[in-house]
Amino acid sequence: MILKLAWRNIWRNKRRTLVVLISIIVSVVVLMLLDTLSIGMLKQMLDNQISLHISHIQIHKNGYKDDKTVKNYISDELTVEKTIKEIEEVKSYSKRVISYGLINSAYNSSGIIIVGIQPDKEKSITIISNLIIEGKYIERNGEILISKKLAQKLKTEIGDKLVLMASDIDGNVASEVFRVVGIFESPHSEFDKTHIYITISDAQRMLKIDKIIEFALILKDQKYVNVVKEKISKKIGNPYEVLTYAEVVPFIGIIIDMYKQLIWIYYLIFGVAVVFGIINIMLMSVFERMREFGVLKAIGMKNKNIFSLIVLESFIIGVLGTVIGIIIGFALYIPLSKYGIDLGIFAESLAWFGSGRVIYPVLTWFTLFLLFVTMPFIAILGAIYPALKSTKFEPVEALKHI
Amino acid sequence: MKIITTENLTKIYTDGKVEVIALKNVNLEIHSGEFIVVAGPSGSGKTTLLNLIGGLDKPTDGKVYFEGKDITTIKRDELADLRLKKIGFIFQAYNLIPVLTVFENVEIPLVLLKVDEKRRREMVMEILTKLGISELANKRPNEISGGQQQRVAVARAIITNPTLVLADEPTAHLDSKTGGMLIDIMQKMNSERKITFVICSHDPQVIQRAGRLIRLRDGMIEDDKKLW
């Protein structure tokens, strides 16, 4: 009966209810798109970082993280490799030799990070081989892969020769000539400016080491990173540092944490806007029905029942708005998650963040939970003051109300 | 058996610095089964007396005892319980809940009493049939006449079989024929169900049906006569 009474009361003044309902629906839809797009952007940023270079787990000699020089090479590569092979959660791995250096063309030069890779194995670790926009992927010694941005800076084309310079293991300047065989373009502009690829044997020869600097691992699932890190650390011990992607690029973790706090502000802003709407209509409704409350009190309805009735009316509006909002939100989300949103006008900043210009929204259970809970909660919150007001009237005063 | 006893019941309304005495030292006893009409001109204190007896208002001074219990000092919720179980109200302006059907309006007190749904249906239909308005069960108050609305209000007041029904000018908005029919119904409920009625009215056809007539003037009892 109370539910029936609440439901019918809501529709007494359809226009007023619809205005609040629409404000809730719009809030839910906007929050859903905002939240899913932001999560999608962060996810793409992280995924791109992982698939572009970072991988899930990196293993180095202990201390490499703070001193990225060739002298910090992995001395017992076989033991580490044997350990990696024993861990079932590892999908694939690759070895790398990495060093800072300088790249020179006939026209220009640039500071870069030289990445010596095992071309075949690297294909299962990163997506670099899929990002070639001109030429081909490196296959043999003497070949170099550079980005479009760097090619533009160096005024270089496929087939041109470039000189790489770097300090070798003895501290001497080493230089070698490479032929450009491929040009790539990734979603991350800052990455593109700095990374070039040659074969691992070229890098070893140039830097005069027969060791490697890094193992890059891709796991069967990202969720295993901490388990695998622990397993490897336990087996290979102190001489090596085993880093998860979150430790390699901590700024992404910071951005994600910041976002998690920022989203509460979004919800708060929409919540405050809706709560005043709710207070407004519920107060109007309470004052209009004061006489009825007097009657209900006179026939024996207790204040707590009247309080519950008002809160229930508001809660129903909150739930109804949320459900409709989520249905509309889903209708927009499903195609957007499939085809993405091209945020071309922000392309430059998105490239800087490394998320790509087409963002695919991602809906998480937590977002869905927040969306389901927020507006009904706000509706209850907004109804408390009007509901309290309704309990303050003495029945005799309320009955006199016209 | 005494249902209501009032002791020096006084109600003074204050409007700024002006005090208006609505009721002054009213001493009254109401017994079970009585059919009382409280008559008097406008402003004589009829409605105030009814509100105080029904626990809808607090007196400035004096006491109201309901079945021996002082109801001027009990808590709001206890008063609500008392009204729900023992007192029925009929108002001048019917005061039905517009969004509920006739059936649902009559059903409210039973819902509050947590009577199960099947029993509620039986009780409501029985009373609606008795009052000749069963065919209106699914109509909303705005779809029926004033007389029919007041009969629904009577049904709502007596559905819980209360000890006392308080009616404030129940015929004021009705034509004389409909008003007469309503008094018939109330008198029938009084004799059949032994419900005590206290009716405030200055309608002559109500006054002439009184079993006991109390005349109020300027907040005081001018006359109190048992007629049958």
pLDDT in tens, A379-391: 999 999 999 998 8
Asked if A348 reaches chain B (Cβ–Cβ under 8 Å), the answer is: no
Average pLDDT rounded to a whole number, residues A138-156: 93
Average pLDDT rounded to a whole number, residues A222-230: 91
Q: Which of A113, A66, A111, A116 is nearest to A216 (CA)?
A: A116
> Which own/partner contact pairs does A258-263 have at CB distance under 8 Å and 24+ positions apart?
A259/A38, A259/A39, A259/A42, A263/A35, A263/A38, A263/A370
Q: What is the pLDDT of residue B1?
A: 85
Residue-wise pLDDT tens digits, A268-305? 999 998 999 899 999 998 888 888 899 999 989 999 99
Q: What is the pLDDT of residue A351?
A: 61
Q: pLDDT digit of tens for each residue in chain B (228 aa)?
A: 889 999 999 999 887 788 889 999 999 999 999 999 999 988 889 999 999 999 999 999 999 999 999 999 998 889 999 999 999 999 888 889 999 999 999 999 999 999 999 999 999 999 899 888 999 999 999 999 988 998 899 899 989 999 999 999 888 888 888 888 888 888 988 998 889 999 999 889 899 999 999 999 999 999 998 887
Q: What is the pLDDT of residue A353?
A: 65
* HSE of B85, CA atoms in CB hemisphere, 13 A: 10
Asked if A13 reaches chain B (Cβ–Cβ under 8 Å), the answer is: no
**Residue A355 banded pLDDT, cuts 50, 70, 90:** low
Q: Looking at chain B, which residue has its C-alpha nearest residue A396?
A: B56
List, in order, residues 6 or more apart from B93 with CB less than 8 Å away: B173
State the best of B82, B95, B104 to mutate against chain A, taking most chain A CBs within 10 Å. B95
Asked if A301 reaches chain B (Cβ–Cβ under 8 Å), the answer is: yes
What whole-number distance in Å separates Cα of residue B198 and Cα of residue B35?
A: 6
pLDDT at A357 over 80: no
**C-alpha pair distances (Å), A132 with each of A144, A182, A193, A344, A351:** 12, 6, 15, 21, 17
Q: Which of A262, A375, A304, A104 is nearest to B75 (CA)?
A: A304
Asked if A268 reaches chain B (Cβ–Cβ under 8 Å), the answer is: no
Out of B54, B57, B100, name the one closest to residue A5 (CB).
B100
Q: Looking at chain B, which residue has its C-alpha nearest residue A306?
A: B112
pLDDT at A36 over 80: yes
Report whether A158 contacts A94 (CB < 8 A). no
Mean pLDDT score of chain A: 89
Q: Which of A278, A301, A286 is nearest to A375 (CA)?
A: A278
Whether residue B54 and residue A5 make contact (CB cut-off 8 A), yes or no, is no
Q: Which of B85, B75, B53, B48 is nearest to B66 (CA)?
A: B53
Taking the alpha carbons at both ends of chain B, their separation in whole angstroms is 17
Q: What is the pLDDT of residue A75?
A: 86
Class of residue A91 by CB neighbours under 10 A (exposed 0-12, middle 13-18, buried 19+): middle
Which residues in chain A touch residue B83, judged by CB atoms under 8 angstroms apart? 298-300
**Residue A334 banded pLDDT, cuts 50, 70, 90:** very high
Q: What is the pLDDT of residue B130?
A: 85
What whole-number distance in Å separates Cα of residue A59 and Cα of residue B107?
A: 75
Quote the minimal CA–CA distance from A294 to chain B in Å.
9
What whole-number distance in Å separates Cα of residue A280 and Cα of residue B6?
A: 43
Quote the minimal CA–CA distance from B113 to chain A in Å.
9
Q: What is the pLDDT of residue B155?
A: 92
Quote the minimal CA–CA distance from A295 to chain B in Å.
7
Residue-wise pLDDT tens digits, A308-321? 999 999 999 999 99
Q: Looking at chain A, which residue has its C-alpha nearest residue B113?
A: A300
Whether residue A298 and residue B54 make contact (CB cut-off 8 A), yes or no, is yes
Q: Write down the residue that tokens 């004033």 correspond to.
A: B146
User: How many C-beta atoms surround the C-beta of residue A381 within 10 A?
Assistant: 17
**Token reading at B20:** 């208006």
pLDDT at A204 over 90: yes
What whole-number distance in Å separates Cα of residue B159 and Cα of residue B146?
A: 20
Report whether B165 contacts B198 (CB < 8 A). yes
Quote the minimal CA–CA distance from B51 to chain A in Å.
7
Count of pairs with CB atoms under 8 A, one residue in A, one in B:
72
Of the two residues A250 and A108, the one the predictor is more confident about is A108
Q: For residue B22, report the phi and psi dihedrals to the nearest 5 degrees.
A: -90, -35
Quote the minimal CA–CA distance from A8 to chain B in Å.
6
Q: What is the pLDDT of residue A254?
A: 86
Asked if B57 reaches chain A (Cβ–Cβ under 8 Å), the answer is: yes
Average pLDDT rounded to a whole number, residues A243-259: 85
Average pLDDT rounded to a whole number, residues A350-377: 84
Whether residue A4 and residue B54 make contact (CB cut-off 8 A), yes or no, is no
Q: What is the pLDDT of residue B152?
A: 93
Q: Looking at chain B, which residue has its C-alpha nearest residue A1?
A: B111
Of the two residues A242 and A352, the one the predictor is more confident about is A242
Q: Looking at chain A, which residue has its C-alpha nearest residue B76?
A: A302
State the best of A290, A291, A299 to mutate against chain B, taking most chain B CBs within 10 Å. A299
Quote the minimal CA–CA distance from A287 to chain B in Å.
15
Q: What is the pLDDT of residue A310?
A: 93
Q: What is the pLDDT of residue B52?
A: 93
Asked if B111 reaches chain A (Cβ–Cβ under 8 Å), the answer is: yes
Out of A8, A395, A396, name the one closest to residue B99 (CB).
A8
Q: What is the pLDDT of residue A358?
A: 80
Quote the minimal CA–CA distance from A301 to chain B in Å.
6
User: How many C-beta atoms surround the C-beta of residue A142 within 10 A?
Assistant: 14
Q: What is the DSSP letter of A385?
A: H
Q: Looking at chain A, which residue has its C-alpha nearest residue B97?
A: A292
Out of A12, A298, A301, name the one closest to residue B99 (CB).
A12
**Token reading at A199:** 């074969």
Q: Looking at chain A, which residue has its C-alpha nearest residue B114?
A: A1
**Residue A183 banded pLDDT, cuts 50, 70, 90:** very high
**C-alpha pair distances (Å), A368 with each of A33, A42, A235, A359, B90:** 11, 17, 41, 19, 50
**Residue A203 banded pLDDT, cuts 50, 70, 90:** very high
What whole-number distance in Å separates Cα of residue A83 and Cα of residue B120?
A: 76
* Strand duo A214-219 + A173-184: pairing: unpaired
Q: What is the DSSP letter of A119?
A: H
pLDDT at A396 over 90: no
Report whether A283 contacts A386 (CB < 8 A). yes
Q: Kindly report the three-state secondary structure assignment for every residue of A342-381.
A: ECHHHHHHHHHHCCCCEECCCCCHHHHHHHHHHHHHHHHH
Q: What is the pLDDT of residue A356?
A: 66
Quote the minimal CA–CA distance from A322 to chain B in Å.
25
Q: What is the pLDDT of residue A191?
A: 86
Asked if B151 reaches chain A (Cβ–Cβ under 8 Å), the answer is: no
Q: What is the pLDDT of residue A117?
A: 93
Q: Which of A115, A119, A158 is nearest to A139 (CA)?
A: A119
Asked if A12 reaches chain B (Cβ–Cβ under 8 Å), the answer is: yes
Which residues in chain A touch residue B54, judged by CB atoms under 8 angstroms apart? 298
